[in-house]
A and B are shown apart, each in its own frame.
Chain A
Amino acid sequence: MMEPVRDIAGQAIPLRIDNVDTDMIIPAKYLKTITRKGLASGAFEALRSRPGNLLDDPAYAGASILVAGDNFGCGSSREHAPWALLDLGIRCVIAPSIADIFYNNCFKNGILPIRLPLRSVERLMGLAAAPPTSQMTVSLVNQTIASADGVTEHFEIDTARKADLIKGVDEIDRSLREAQAIQRFEAHDRTARPWVRDMASDFLV
């Protein structure tokens, strides 16, 4: 189950690339797994094959924050992307914009995705680029990012999602408690839209 998120303190790795897609985060050949674990070795494979890449730089060992370019996580719905980041130890992604499905998937896995204005991301990116100043503290409770230059940045986050992350809510469990409402919906819908019918008998052999 998902680890609750409150404060994330650690080094930030700068990833100065726009449109980091999910194929870049975890290439398709690694999607053949049937578990959530073990994706670290395939994470950012192409990027990490380049000498001097920051993800494998000892100066960033143990980093837990990723500061990235615009439209981070675009592409496929593969949850393998946040699983791969988790496996690398990343618990927070900061970018000017983050693609919708990836953004959603982060919340299901205890990763805090933060959208910040471009200028703020640029500033954090600059700090992250020089390891002595790459240390940051993200407080989900206060919705702040404190950085080594003494500046504290505020970020927006949906209140429902914030609460769920802090509590590490089992979303399925909570929705199952709405079983009666779901049943009522289904009963009403069977007469309102009889054509939305069960397909089981059509396909089960």
Chain B
Amino acid sequence: MNAARHPRLLFEKIWDAHVVGDIGEGAVLVYIDRHLVNEVTSPQAFEGLRLAGRSVRRPGATIAVADHNVPTGDRSGGVAAIADIDSRLQVQTLERNVEEFGVPYIPLVSRQQGIVHVVGPELGLTLPGMTIVCGDSHTSTHGAFGALAFGIGSSEVEHVLATQTLVQQKPKSMLIKVNNRLGAGITPKDLILHIIGKIGTAGATGHVIEYAGEAVTALEMAGRMTLCNMSIEAGARAGMIAPDETVYAWLRNCPHAPKGEAFEAAVAQWETLRSDKGATFDKTLIIDGRDVAPMVTWGTSPEAVTTIDGLIPDPAVIEDTAKRKAVMAMLDYMGLEPGRPIKGLPVDIVFIGSCTNGRIEDLRAAAEVIRGRRVAAGVRGLVVPGSGEVKGAAEAEGLDRIFLEAGFEWREPGCSMCLGMNPDQVPPGQRCASTSNRNFAGRQGPGSRTHLVAPAMAAAAAIAGELVDVREIAR
């Protein structure tokens, strides 16, 4: 707008363009372009509207889909056939609410149903320069398109429904620049785990991360989404990447993205969405992409991570008492021997899916490792596409056959085993190599033991029956 303006960061440009008004003491009202709604964090928000006699200000900027609770088995019975009473009630409540408030909704039986962070981008609901929120922390995923996207709580969901705005304090900024390309067989999941291992789960608290550098711009959209998705595991408010031709190419194929001249006009504006030379970040981290190796978590926090060649830490050599105790508690929960190599650790379950790694590219990477091989005896393998569209595309390519013939389960889309809210759970004491994003105690079910890995690494673990370096079994 104003050429004489001081240099600004990508996130500041989006921020400034969405400030509706100043409400004093450093707080502003920020306009929200897109509001994604799920069944878990919205019931209390709709109830709040109802009690106050309020309506949804802009239903057309809102879209709802159920993902956390939904069973991933046979769907033919629809919502009424969800066996768990509380899960069924939550999905039914969402359906009642979207009807009452006139909010667009993707039903459970639709081919477009899936995890909200997979659905938004593939339908073209996520566009560069937008402000996007959802009552879910992994909303940071959408930052891969050069959007400012972040998770909110239910009270804020209610606030956005009622006003299409949020009361916000301006966050700080952080640059994570990854020089050089990632090595052969190294994935964006390994990169983000590497970053979290370096800065810790509170390393970016209060900050919006902008990812840049050769390793980042070389990534396809799925990889960019994986990276931005787990920004929250580094404590960040949001993660984002400046939009470029990779983004536009993706959007040209999306059903609800702008078309034709409207699209070209949009691109012209999106091209201005980059951090100006001379604009400064509050924090900077520079990484060499060549240093990143396949990563595996060993503890109950995403920062408790090592390379596949690494050792499980030995608390005996940790001087800081609090840290030593924390590591001991994690090893105890995870049933791990101190000091042994992480490689060779037997797994009971392999889960390939989630909003981190449930996209077609992730399934292709896993299938590539699996093709013509079999899941090790005694291991349960699940492949859960992130959406119905992903599932359909995978089936069209024959990936489902590869997984089924190898002995994997091929399931309906949803959050599935990422969290213990639907029937897909890791039984107590069992060990799971998982492509999801959180390894908290009990996350995948009470007593579950999670090792976060990339899709190819998960596939390799399924075949070997233990954690292995995918590069060693690659063809």
* Cβ–Cβ contact B438 & A23, under 8 A: yes
A194 on the B face (CB < 8 A): yes
B125 on the A face (CB < 8 A): yes
* Cβ–Cβ contact B322 & A18, under 8 A: yes
* Cβ–Cβ contact A36 & B137, under 8 A: no
* Cβ–Cβ contact B202 & A74, under 8 A: yes
B202: chain A residues within 8 A (beta carbon): 19, 70-71, 74, 97, 99
* Cβ–Cβ contact A28 & B421, under 8 A: yes
B415 to chain A: closest residue by CB: A28
Q: Known: A34-B93, A71-B205, A172-B52. Is A101-B60 also a contact (CB below 8 A)?
A: no
Min Cβ gap B253→A in Å is 16
B262: chain A residues within 8 A (beta carbon): 194-195
A21 on the B face (CB < 8 A): yes
* Cβ–Cβ contact A198 & B61, under 8 A: yes
* Cβ–Cβ contact B443 & A23, under 8 A: yes
Give which listed residue, B21, B48, B61, contacts A181 with CB less than 8 A: B21
Instruction: Report the Cα distance A181→B105, complex, angstroms.
Output: 28
B238 to chain A: closest residue by CB: A100
A143 on the B face (CB < 8 A): no
B447 to chain A: closest residue by CB: A46
B290 on the A face (CB < 8 A): no
A142: chain B residues within 8 A (beta carbon): none
Instruction: Report the Cα distance A36→B58, complex, angstroms.
Output: 25
* Cβ–Cβ contact B40 & A31, under 8 A: yes
A119 on the B face (CB < 8 A): no
Give which listed residue, B27, B127, B257, B326, contacts A17 with CB less than 8 A: B326
Instruction: Report the Cα distance A199→B130, complex, angstroms.
Output: 14
Instruction: Report the Cα distance A163→B43, complex, angstroms.
Output: 28
Give which listed residue, A27, A32, A35, A163, contacts B69 with CB less than 8 A: A32
Give which listed residue, B31, B86, B156, contacts A185 with CB less than 8 A: B31
B125 to chain A: closest residue by CB: A199
A147 on the B face (CB < 8 A): no
Measured as residues with beta carbon below 8 angstroms from the partner, the interface class of chain A is: 35 or more
Q: Which of B36-52 contact A (CB under 8 A)?
A: 40-41, 43-44, 47-48, 52
Instruction: Report the Cα distance A71→B205, complex, angstroms.
Output: 9
A159 on the B face (CB < 8 A): yes
* Cβ–Cβ contact B206 & A109, under 8 A: no
A21: chain B residues within 8 A (beta carbon): 301, 438, 440
A18 to chain B: closest residue by CB: B326
B23: chain A residues within 8 A (beta carbon): 160, 174-175, 178
Instruction: Report the Cα distance A203→B34, complex, angstroms.
Output: 14
A197: chain B residues within 8 A (beta carbon): 60, 258
B297: chain A residues within 8 A (beta carbon): none
A171: chain B residues within 8 A (beta carbon): 155, 159, 167
- Mark contacts of A102-145 with chain B using CB atoms, 8 A cut-off: 1 yes-contact digit, 0 otherwise: 00110011000000000000000000000000000000000000
B420 on the A face (CB < 8 A): yes
Of the listed stretches B72-80, B146-154, B335-343, B361-369, chain A binds B146-154
Pull 30 A–B residue pairs with CB atoms less than 8 Å apart, ordered by A: A18-B322, A18-B326, A19-B201, A21-B440, A27-B420, A34-B44, A34-B89, A35-B47, A71-B200, A74-B201, A77-B137, A77-B151, A79-B135, A79-B153, A97-B205, A100-B205, A160-B23, A171-B159, A172-B48, A172-B54, A175-B163, A176-B162, A178-B23, A186-B58, A189-B31, A193-B129, A196-B33, A196-B127, A198-B58, A204-B104
B-contacting residues of A (Cβ < 8 Å)? 16-19, 21, 23-24, 27-29, 31-36, 46, 69-71, 74-79, 82, 97, 99-101, 104-105, 108-109, 158-161, 163, 171-172, 174-176, 178, 181-182, 185-186, 189, 193-204
A-contacting residues of B (Cβ < 8 Å)? 20-21, 23-27, 29, 31, 33, 40-41, 43-44, 47-48, 52, 54, 57-61, 63, 68-69, 84, 86-87, 89-90, 93, 102, 104-106, 125, 127, 129-130, 135-137, 139, 150-156, 158-159, 162-165, 167, 169, 171, 200-202, 205-206, 235, 237, 256-258, 262-263, 265-266, 269, 301, 303, 322, 326, 419-421, 438, 440-443, 446
Closest 9 CB pairs of A and B: A198-B60, A160-B25, A203-B104, A108-B155, A32-B86, A200-B60, A34-B43, A79-B153, A105-B153
Known interface pairs A34-B90, A78-B153, A199-B60; 4 further A-B residue pairs with C-beta atoms within 8 A, sorted by A's residue number: A21-B440, A23-B441, A160-B25, A193-B269
